[in-house]
Chain A
Amino acid sequence: MNNQLLELIQGKSKRSGNGFILLGSAMAIFLILSIFSIYLLKIVVSENTVSNYNLLDIKTRNLMISGIEYGTQRFLDNSLISEGTISKTMDNGNFIIEFNPSTNQEDQNLPYTHFAMLNSSAIISDVSRDSRIFLSSYPNIFNLAFFGNNSGSGSFNQSGGNFDGDIHFNGTITNVNLSPGKVAYNYSGNGGQINYDTNLDFPNNPFSYFVNLLNSAPNTVTNNTTSSSTIFYDFEDGWQGWSQHQVQWRKTWGRRTTSGTNINFGTGNALGTINNGRTYGAEHSYVQSPVFNSTGGGTITFNSWANNEYCYWDAEYMEISYNGGSNWSVLINNCDGLWSNSNSKKSGSATIPASSGTANTRIRFRYNTRDGCCGNSFGFFIDNVSVPTQQSTPVDYGIVENMTINLSQDGAIISNGPYISNQVLTFTNKMTFNNCTITGIGKIINRESIEFSNCDVGGGIEIMSLDEIIIKNGSSFGNNVESLNSSVVSYSKNSFEIDNSTFYGIIFSKGDKTHFKNGANVYGAIHSEAANCIVESNSTNIIGSLVSKYSLSFNSGTIRKGDLPKIFGNNYGISGTIVPGSYLEY
């Protein structure tokens, strides 16, 4: 009995252990499966996260565009280029914009030297997006090889030469010669292809930078030398500017070779009048000379003939006026003895005191027969009149020859001539440089014209004149169009001419004429507001961009689209633009 009870107790104990093992196993399986289900749910969540990346992509791209637009506005405000990289945080992400004046997103050179790249990178969470646009430091019209604003409202008729680049002309295109693949645009389609780009405006530029500098230039001073000379009147070819005037009764002056009594003077024509006494009545008249410059005084000489009632009834006078004829004073009086009754030639003279002479002097010979009675019909004649004069000759102190000029060295280039002050070469009259070398950095400023012949002008120099600028005879200006430091900037108010010379840089030309001829090679930007813009001769080349407010007379040569000097942040009033079609996501 006791053994049976013991076995029963032992058997119960064994089954109870098996149950707990089973229970534990079930709970373990439950736990494993629960963990598995949690992982399944996490996979679903992960799928949702992946789909959210699509929305994140949109947000990031929008942020990237915001960066581009922010940078664009800063560029148009002319304030981007000085700041380089700019970072902004917004919308749980940030964008970084960068102004790169040299290379594109792949560190390759930009399409043109006057371009820069603006790139924008945006990052939100794990998503990043990059894009870029190109910026030009010139207005849109400089993207063309030639732009004609046609303010004169004519048609474009190319008589020679070749455009190696697209052009736009605001008017009818009658004739144009383009390289293959190049396009001539206008807005009407008359002779050209319709241009849908309506952002082609010729800039209205007051050029304040140049105007202000030119206004600060020294005023023009004309230096003259004077020399004494004489004016001789022999009346052989006419009155030589003399004129007769009546005081009373009548005037009968004329050119004669003989007197009223037919006595030959022997000197050809003399100027005088016949005294015919009662026959024709009395005469009171005179002949007067043209104005002459008696500054400094001098001597008047002449020949004369007279036969009359001496001294009173027939009176001859020589008089002088120092104010052009308003007031007269007697130099030789009727009773001074010169004109006593005689048929013979007499030589007269009179002195103009140095203290009296003026630049507005006249003399006159006056004849008064008073009663017209009893006189000899011989008359009164004068000839071979000589008067003193002062000749004024301008002296050109502005000619500089065979010199090397460094604009950083102050002082006069030549005595009485052009001089340098604070890196500005200037003068008070026309400047002419022959066979000179000029190095910068600096400015050449002059109110009058500036002419360069066979000169070498280095980069980093600005040249400006209120008159004309002439570059000729194998001159060379600038080195390349990489930057302003390697090129030359020219501003001329009246005219610009380049003849058989090379120019790298920017030309601003106003006034009458912009003229490229005889093998001129111009690399860079040309802004012409001149009424006449002319390109001629076979070997004349313009490589860059030529924009004209009016039209273009293109007879020969080549105009090719090319690089322009990089002028971001310039002083010249030239605004940059965004280059259409340059947007790229990468």
Chain B
Amino acid sequence: MIEMIIVIATMAVFGALTAEILSNATRVYASSLERQQFISEARSSFFKIARELSWQKSFDGFSESTNKKVVINTEDENVISYEMRSTNDIINTNSQISQINTELLTNKINYNNSEFSYLDADNNPLDIQTQSHEIKLINLKVNFIDGDHSIVFNSDVIPYGLSIGKFMSYHE
């Protein structure tokens, strides 16, 4: 009888400990995974745009861009665009992909708090439709939101292609 009690008590203690560990691990995992997925998606989306912005070949490649959409014309004649839509998402278009060349990059943004800004050498904002030849810098700001999670990424991007000289038609 005493042995039985000892065994049951021991199992209860170990069982409780095991359940607690499992519970904690699962909770940590679930929580981390959820936030990590959000951060990862936000970060990879933001960095993808920032990276590809630097591929812009010429200032006039921005001529079709707006504060909610950027068009990138690359040296290998690829045309890439990112558009922030009022449905709180960003779609990515890439002319190199021949079949389905438009995809949803993320659907976790706050449209009203996200934009592209185009700046000259003195950090003054430009009218990109008429002043694209003066562009030196692009400010990329995206507010990602997912339930209780929210994060704002903000970065200045200098397209490297633009820093080595103004591309004109005779540089082809």
Contacts and interface: CB of A to CB of B under 8 A. Distances in A.
B47 A58 contact: yes
B25 A166 contact: no
Given A27-B14, A41-B25, A19 B4 contact: yes
Interface in B20-63: 21-22, 24-26, 28-29, 32-33, 36-37, 39-40, 43-44, 47, 51, 54-55, 57-59
Nearest to B50: A58
Give me the 6 closest cross-chain CB pairs, A-B, nearest first. Answer: A581-B167, A580-B165, A37-B25, A166-B170, A583-B161, A584-B75
Contact of A30 (B17, B47, B168, B169): B17
B161 A30 contact: no
A308 interface: no
A441 B117 CA distance: 58
User: By CB atoms of chain A within 10 A, which of B26, B58, B76, B168 has the most?
Assistant: B168
Contacts of A36: 22
Contacts of B164: 72, 133, 578, 580, 582-583
| B contacts with A: majority SS | helix
A124 interface: no
A200 to B, nearest CB: 9
5 contacts: A15-B3, A19-B7, A26-B10, A51-B39, A582-B171
A336 interface: no
A493 B59 CA distance: 41
Given A26-B11, A37-B25, A51 B40 contact: yes
Contact of B166 (A30, A43, A50, A580): A580
A453 interface: no
A364 interface: no
Nearest to B21: A37
A40 interface: yes
A33 interface: yes
Contacts of B15: 26, 30
Nearest to A133: B164
Interface of B: 3-4, 6-7, 10-11, 14-15, 17-18, 21-22, 24-26, 28-29, 32-33, 36-37, 39-40, 43-44, 47, 51, 54-55, 57-59, 74-76, 133, 160-161, 164-172
Interface stretch (A190-198, A237-245, A256-264, A272-280): A190-198
Given A15-B3, A51-B39, A580-B168, A22 B75 contact: no
A23 interface: yes
A95 B170 CA distance: 31
A30 B19 CA distance: 9
A522 interface: no
Contacts, number: 134
A235 to B, nearest CB: 72
Interface string A554-586: 000000010000000000000001111111111
B19 to A, nearest CB: 9
Contacts of B58: 580-581
B29 A165 contact: no
Contacts of B168: 166, 185, 195-197, 580
| A contacts with B: majority SS | helix
A51 B51 contact: no
B161 to A, nearest CB: 4
A19 B36 contact: no
B145 to A, nearest CB: 18
B165 to A, nearest CB: 3
B166 A196 contact: yes
Nearest to A132: B75
Interface string A165-193: 11010000000000000010100000000
B47 A44 contact: no
A225 interface: no
Interface string A102-141: 0000000001000000000000000000000100000010
B22 A33 contact: yes
A15 B3 CA distance: 9
Given A23-B7, A37-B21, A584-B55, 13 more contacts: A23-B10, A34-B21, A41-B25, A51-B39, A65-B160, A72-B164, A111-B172, A165-B170, A581-B57, A581-B75, A582-B75, A582-B164, A583-B75
Contact of A16 (B3, B32, B170): B3
Contacts of B37: 47
A70 B153 CA distance: 30
Interface in A503-529: none
Interface in A19-68: 19-20, 22-23, 26-27, 29-30, 33-34, 36-37, 40-41, 43-44, 47-48, 50-51, 54, 57-58, 61, 65, 68
A525 to B, nearest CB: 15
A197 B44 CA distance: 35
Contacts of A51: 36, 39-40, 43
Given A26-B15, A196-B133, A47 B3 contact: no
Nearest to B11: A26
B28 A580 contact: no
Nearest to B8: A22
Contacts of A16: 3
Contacts of A577: 165
Contacts of B169: 166, 183
